[in-house]
Structure 1
Amino acid sequence: MEANTLIRKVHMNCPLCDRTHEVEERKRTTSITLKGEEVTYEERFYFCANADEDENEFETGSMMNENLLNARNAYRVKKGLLTSDEIVAIRASYGLSQVDLAKLLGWGEATISRYESKAIQDEAYDTMLRLVKDNPLQALEFLKKNADKFSGSKRLEIRSKIVEKLDSYGKEFLTRQTFEGEYANFEEPSDSNGFAILNIDKIEAMISYIAEKVTNLFKVKLMKMLWYSDVLAFIENGSAMTGMVYRHEPMGALPIGHYSLMNLENLNVQEEMSYNYDTMLHIYPTASMDYSVLSDGEKAILDKVIEKFKNYKAKDIVDYMHEEKANAETAAGEIIPFSLAKEIRAF
């Protein structure tokens, strides 16, 4: 028998011994074969000490349904599909009923109900669910496409809920989408991106982390510090931190899409006037930024860069970078390959 754990004792009528007494509710890890795949999941059951050893366990109907759902979710996880809880969360994030979400996607009315409780979705349906999961704009497109499935008032109600979700975090999504679009040609690891894939969560965390420790952090200085951070990570680990691609510009390395980068909603960027009335972008730390995306090793690299350049003015760090081999051996407008950056000046 598999090892099991006591959850609690329940006073109930036991169907095995036909007496009312305390039975033990237990749980264990067990396996089952679903669609030809063996999956492991947590199973709950009741144990009766009075029954025969060969038949001393039973499940209620609701317990059996929960166990089957756990098994199906284990299969989903193994196959990279959304779990039933994740499907519920998608629907709840839009404030939609099961029927409303099914109609929105052009499916039968009972489809979402089945996916949340019984059936396992195939990859095509899973892809459609993922399309709306974090993309309210896609949800609006589905609403336009399937508008005839709703009454006028219901369509307006659902549109209002989608727009509300779009307003709540849509600006960040749209600015991320714009920034990601700049990297459409750099989706594979290469010498151009330091053999790393674009990671916007990490970029936002890095910028806020630097801003916490560097006063008067403005865009030009930040861009150079990001390049040096990526280069140090490439030298130490064989891959950059951010996945950004840098070009040779008159003021040194600048990442592709730097204008879009500075518009990310999770960054705390303020426009300020300089002494000669030029507009400058002042970067401040972001309150409640999640730094868990940065490893201890990555924070150590950032600390090296911060220690080196925290007291540099923008002109100082630009001049310092102009002396780098990576800058000298590339022409204006060219991408700076990370292989050229292996030989940087001492830190």
Structure 2
Amino acid sequence: MSEMNCPKGHGAMEEKKIEKTIPFKGIEVDIVEEVFVCPVCGLAAGTVQSAGKIQLAISEGYREQTGLLTSTQIKQLRKEKGMTQANLSLVTGFGLASIKRWETGAIQTQSADKTLRSHLMGEFQENNITGNRDFSIPRILLVLTAFQTALGRAILIENDKMLFAAKYLWYADMLAKKELGRSMTGATYAHLPWGPQLNNYRDLLDEIRNADISKAEDLSDSELSIINRIAKHFPEDHMAFDASHKEPAWLETNNGELILYSWAEKLNAKIN
């Protein structure tokens, strides 16, 4: 810390560390604050630099107490794996900006923390049923909404059973698994006569339409790029529908059989 004089004219102030308990996100976080204290009047004052350190200390303390990886741990584990921030962004599917924020104090969600731990701690266990992501109905709605923006038209239509919307969703999940290492929604898919479809889709339709999109994890820049590329490649519904019937994932599976995410490596459509 730099030097500081008492504003009341008592001369040089002394550097001290003070233990504090700060209420943050519903819990009490214990931190140590570095301040200047006047030995005469007891006035305590911090600096702009110390204010930044306090915010980081609160963030780190909160994450420690709630079982989340701290900024220091994320950075250390990443370097131990020989990974750059860009590498970590690629394998997890999170945006590079998110990785940088988490390593400098921003607090990740429980879901994001689980994914970070999977890639940074121990051996990663491939899940070809959900594409290495927990299933999220709000995220399905978020992805479909992003497609509607990219296409400039509605694809989630009342009483249409997602005949066409599911094809866009399937390509998004499969391409994300292929390029980013995990799907966008964690949805499972099945071989049906009209192409790849959400498994048990009849039970999910109302839940998807009524989902609280605010509970969905934000789409990363990489995920949005995939959605925009798919929309550009398949500007009309029938294009995605027809292409899905030519995919090995559908041609080489039986009616009712799950379409695993391992098929992502064999996508026929050249979506650039």
TM-score range, shorter chain: 0.3 to 0.5
Question: 1 or 2, which has the higher strand percentage?
Answer: 1
Larger Rg: 1
Q: TM-score, normalized by length of structure 2? A: 0.42
Q: TM-score, normalized by length of structure 1? A: 0.34
